Amino acid sequence: MADAKEHLDKLLQELRRGTITIGVLSQLSEAQYGYSLVTMLSEKGIPVEPGTLYPLLRRLEKQGLLDSQWDTNEARPRKYYLLSKTGKEVFDLLVVEWKSIVSSLNHVIENEGDEKNGDH
């Protein structure tokens, strides 16, 4: 079973890497700084390492999906990220795609179960 667990960990890691972007974009209709996002996402059941999130935020910013602004009024200067106009559009499209993937996969997984039940 230890073997299966190892495979599972690897596959989960890949799966998470792909979906984390959706999670991040979903939380940024209001400006957030990096660590507040880490906390927020983990509270909602999407754990993400700061070492993964921070480079991801910069990459999304570079791609033009996020805008950023330094807030130097607080005790600690923080960089806030917010969805850009393109980012919003992309996120909306992404959600539609995601839902269709989820429903297709659900369909596939459940049908697989039905067939097995039918065979035996």
Partner 1 sequence: METIDRYIYAVTQKLPQAQRKDIADELRGLIEDMLEERVGIANIKESDVEDVLLELDSPNELAEKYRGTKKYLIGPELFDSYILVLKIVLIVVSAGIGIGFLIQTILDPISILDYFIDMIVSLVTSLPMAFGWTTFSFAIGERSGEVKRKDLIGQEWKPSDLPPIPDEKRQIKRGESIAGIIFYAIFIAFLAFSSDYFGIWVFQDEFTGVVPFLNEQTYGSYLMFIILLFGFGILKECLKLVSGKWTYKLAIVTIIVNAVSMAAIVFIINGPDFWNPEFMNELAEAGVVTVGSEAFDIVNKVWDQLTFWIIILLVIGLVWDAVDGFIKARKK
Which residues in this chain contact partner 1 in the complex, by CB under 8 A? 33-35, 39, 49-52, 54-55, 58-59, 70, 76-79
Contacts of 71 (CB under 8 A, 6+ apart): 33, 77, 78, 79, 80
Residue 51 CB, nearest approach to partner 1 (Å): 4
CA–CA separation, 20 and 62 (whole Å)? 17
Residue 34 CB, nearest approach to partner 1 (Å): 6
Residue 119 CB, nearest approach to partner 1 (Å): 43
